[in-house]
Structures are given as C-alpha cells and as structure tokens.
Amino acid sequence: MPRYALKVEYQGAPFAGWQRQKDQPSVQGAIEAALARLEPGPHTIAAAGRTDAGVHALGQVAHCDMTKDWEPFRLNEALNYHLKPAPVTILAVARVEDDWHARFSAIERQYLFRILTRRAPATHDLGQVWQVGRALDVGAMQAGAEQLIGRHDFTTFRSAICQAASPVKTLDELRVEAVQGFSGPEVHFNVRARSFLHNQVRSFVGTLERVGAGSWSPQDVGAALAARDRSACGPVCPPQGLYLARVGYPQDPFAS
C-alpha cells in the first residue's frame, strides 16, 4: 500500500485536540473522514505529535496508507476539497517509503507560542493568542528561559497525566522575542527539541510570563527546575496561543 506524508495546518479551537475522540470532533477524525470519501475505510493516520484541545498547527505532519497509487498533487487537492468547511488544510503531500513514520522518523519538533500584550480585547486574533493586558520584560524572560536550555529532569514542567517514560529531555532552543503583530505588540516563544513532555511548553510559557510581569525573577525559574516538583511550576498558560510550527526529519519529505 503506498504511503503518503501529509503536512497539515489547522485551527485548534473547534477540536478536542488532534487525537480521534469517540464523541467529540478531532483533527485526526476530520482527515480520516476525508480519506474515507476517497477510498473505502476505515483509515487510521499517525501524526508527529498529539496536540491538545485548542492548540493550532502550522506544520503538523502525519502519514496515511492508501490502496490506490495517488499522484501527490491530486491527493492533496482531493483531501482539501473534502475537508471543507473544517479549519484544516493539507499544505503538501509527498510519497514516502513504506517504513517512514510521521512520529518515529522525526528528529525534532518546533513550537511557537504567541502572547498579545494589549489591554483592548482581541478581535481578529481572538482564539489565536493568549492575551495579557500589559507589557512584559522580554529580557528578563529570556534570562529565565536560558536556565531551561539543555538536558534536564523537567518534572516541574510536566503534566501530572504525562505518559512519557522519563521526565529527562533535552531542550535545544527557547527563544523569547518581541514582535509587532497585526493586532499589536506580541511576545513570541520559539521552542525546539526532539520531543516534549505533556504540557511542557505551556508550563514554560506560563512560568516565564510571571518573570516578564515581575512576579518572579529569572533565577526563580532555575530554582523551580531544580525542585523537580510540579507544585514549583508557575501557572500553566491557556492553549490558544500555542502552535506546532514545524517537524524536522533527516530528509525533508516535502523538499521536492
């Protein structure tokens, strides 16, 4: 059966997350339903990572197996037609080897988190950002972020329901920058690692926002990390500003 890699963009607000749910809409369910319109199902697709309810994607990657040998462009167009009106778009389709796997072949994931820092309520970006009604100290947040980079036991920043075998992960990048967005000033968090614990990025951002607001010092972030205690974490921020931005592979299946 031919295997295809899919690059997927979606808005997370209408969904209970990526993973198929019995009684709730999911991104996986929407794509599998579209595939069933093209070939008799059932279809089961695998993704590079499972995003939570309300989390978005700019470059999620999944793979599917088909019976027919589809030309990638035609499969891309057909899926987008049948996905309407769901806020899910297939950006690219590529034929891959039979043993290629969207999750297990990946070597890194990159997330973006957006905070909109203005007092007036968001309109165009409603549901796409976490809105904080005050300016944040980006320099202080970056100083706190630097204490998290590297290989650590991230128990403090791990959800209680996380199913990962170990809390030890290597964080390759956590960059905080001020950006002038369409709706006003934003703070962006660019986070990159091979893999993440459940709620790890949202725990980072919620904690660093406390630093930016002046409630925590940058050194408090290092102390929280060293505590290896979930109760030492700052508030976990809401999901709507989080985007799975990119998934990296040894060879980009969509490069050609």
First to last CA, the chain: 22
Encoded tokens for 80: 């987008």
Residue 70's φ and ψ, nearest 5 degrees, are -80, 140
Whether 254 is covered by a domain: the verdict is: no
What residue has token string 């996380």? 162
Just list the catalytic residues: 52
pLDDT digits (tens, 9 = 90+) for 148-192: 999 999 999 999 889 899 999 999 999 999 999 899 999 999 999
Q: Position 218: which residue type?
A: P
The reported pLDDT for the residue numbered 178 is 98
Give yes or no: residues 12 and 134 share one domain: no
Q: Both 83 and 114 in a single domain? A: no
Which residues constitute the domain of residue 157?
A: 108-246
Q: Note the pLDDT tens digit of each residue in 127-144.
A: 999 999 999 999 999 999
Give residue 40's identity as a one-letter amino acid code: P
Please give the Cα distance from 249 to 256 (Å, whole number): 14
- With b meaning 16 or more CB within 10 Å and e meaning fewer, what string describes 23-55? eeebbbbbbbebbeebeeeebebebbbbbbbbb
- 111 within 8 A of 248, measured Cβ to Cβ: no
Residue 1 pLDDT exceeds 90: no
- Please name which of 204, 170, 172 lies closest in space to residue 188, comparing C-alpha atoms: 204
β-bridge pairing 184-193 and 242-248: unpaired
Which of 59, 83, 105 corresponds to the end of one domain? 105
189 with 69, same domain? no
pLDDT reported for residue 6: 98
What does the alpha-carbon distance between residue 157 and residue 205 come to, in Å, rounded to a whole number?
A: 10
Q: What's CA 139's distance to the chain center, in Å? A: 24
pTM: 0.95
pLDDT at 22: 87
Instruction: List the CATH number of the domain containing 64.
Output: 3.30.70.580
State residue 256's pLDDT score.
Answer: 73
Structurally, the chain folds into a number of domains equal to 2
pLDDT category of residue 236 using cuts at 50, 70 and 90: very high
Tell whether 252 is covered by a domain. Answer: no
